Structure 1
Amino acid sequence: MARYTGPKSKIARKFREPIFGPDKALERKNYPPGMHGVSKRRGKQSEYAVQLQEKQKAKYTYGVLERQFANLFDKAASKEGITGENLLKFLEARLDNAVYRLGIAPTRAGARQLVGHKHITVNGQVVNIPSYSVRPGDIIAVRERSKTLEAVTNSVAGRKQNKYSWLEWDANELTGKFLNYPNRDEIPENIKEQLIVELYSK
């Protein structure tokens, strides 16, 4: 299963956002990495650089590699509606992201691991592909024998009230339902999707 395995704090500092979850290094050093630190004057970025950075931010946030991301963009462009919003909807519908949003795992990386290790089912069937696209009406659940996993119980115990209107959660059964694709204003990620569309339009 291909995934990003490089330094996470450095990436978070580059974008000045906790892309991979809470990060003490980012809190201590809220400026880009590099030998010159905060004192280095950085030249104005080109339009292309700004667009590319936004695409990289989206890729790191959702844990998607280049080819997967390009395929998702093509799918979003061919669907009716606003391409950028379609792209974010498809990213939100990834199984690993849905598991994370439901609170079964505290991070997307943790959710990806749970899926990959066959702890998650969709409509009663084990699915171990993190990029699997869930559809409205799909039931996402923790596998029966995995419900006592410490990683799952700790994450669920720290779960707050359901924050996402497109997901339904049953705490007793450890199951969630993907109700519908979210609207753009419901997705909390700070991503300027129009810049990504402009990049791919070149």
Structure 2
Amino acid sequence: MSKRVQAKYKINRRLGENLWGRPKSPVNKREYGPGQHGQRRKGKVSDFGTQMVAKQKLKGYYGNLTERQFRNLYAEAVRRRGDTGENLIGLLEQRLDAIVYRLKFVPTVFSARQLVNHGHVKVNGRRVNIPSYQVKVGDVIELTQRAKEMALVMEAGASSEREIPDYISFDGHKATYIRVPTLSDVPYPVQMEPNLVVEFYSR
């Protein structure tokens, strides 16, 4: 479980953006940062600061991954052929908890991680309880019968807050991971800049 589950909106306020595009985010009412010094005038941000914010946004969006988890994904992105930034986005979107969130099984990435942790998600017919599990193209993802009857899951599925992206096929019961998306395919509510994340780690 993420250490930030109870304070997830602090990430929003610290970064000054509604990371998940949710109507209940406090950033919609208070665009300044948290704490007694949150309303201080911000100075000019350095290149390092800009890169750091880009990293924190991307890391925070996926449930505030630990630095070790995120750095390991970056190392794998570097190892693969092609554009490192695009590879990083692809690896993040292949995480099982990210796919559960994209399928609207749950309302937040944090609850997606919890749903997987509790063994409510199956991949190719087998239960998987590891949120960071890397789903492959062609894999079939579905919920257990017990999970389908949860109020949280039913409410999330009926919500019009988000749409299921076209790189995942869903027939209402089972989903198939069709292809690894690029940055332009992923429906981020805010602008993500993986190129700045690459610059941050390659300093």
TM-score, length of structure 2 as denominator length: 0.90
CA contact (8 A) 1:77 1:83 kept: yes
* Aligned-residue offset at 1:182: 0.7
CA distance in 2, matches of 1:26, 1:195: 23
Letter in 2 for 1:11: I
CA contact (8 A) 1:4 1:65 kept: no
CA contact (8 A) 2:104 2:164 kept: no
Task: Identify which range, 18-27 or 183-192, moves more after superposition.
Answer: 18-27
**Unaligned 5+ residue runs, structure 1?**
none
Tell me: higher relative CO, structure 1 or 2? Use CA pairs within 8 A at least 6 residues apart.
Answer: 2
Letter in 2 for 1:132: Y
Paired residue for 1:148?
A: 149
Paired residue for 1:77?
A: 78
CA contact (8 A) 2:62 2:109 kept: yes
Name the Cα RMSD after superposition: 1.8
Aligned residues: 199
* Aligned-residue offset at 1:157: 2.1
**Unaligned 5+ residue runs, structure 2?**
none
| Percent identical | 40
**Superposed, which structure 2 residues align to 1:11-30 within 5 Å?**
11-20=11-20, 22=22, 23-30=24-31
Paired residue for 1:42?
A: 42
CA contact (8 A) 2:15 2:57 kept: yes
CA distance in 2, matches of 1:91, 1:61: 10
CA distance in 1, matches of 2:162, 2:58: 26
Letter in 2 for 1:185: S
Alignment of 1:135 onto 2:136: yes
Letter in 1 for 2:12: A
Task: Identify which range, 16-25 or 73-82, moves more after superposition.
Answer: 16-25
Three-state SS of the structure 1 residue aligned to 2:42 is coil
Deviations 1:128-173 (A, max 9, x none): 00010101000010012322111111111225785411001111x2
CA distance in 2, matches of 1:102, 1:162: 8
CA distance in 2, matches of 1:48, 1:196: 10
Paired residue for 2:120?
A: 119
* Aligned-residue offset at 1:2: 4.9
Task: Identify which range, 13-22 or 59-68, moves more after superposition.
Answer: 13-22
CA distance in 1, matches of 2:176, 2:31: 37
**Are the structure 2 counterparts of residues 3 and 133 from structure 1 closer, same or farther at C-alpha, using a change threshold of 3 Å?**
farther
Deviations 1:8-35 (A, max 9, x none): 2222022222225523421110122342
Deviations 1:30-62 (A, max 9, x none): 122342444x22211111111111111111101
Paired residue for 1:167?
A: 168
Deviations 1:90-145 (A, max 9, x none): 00110000000011111111111110111100000000000101010000100123
CA distance in 2, matches of 1:16, 1:161: 21
TM-score, length of structure 1 as denominator length: 0.91
Deviations 1:47-88 (A, max 9, x none): 111111111111110121110101000000010110011001
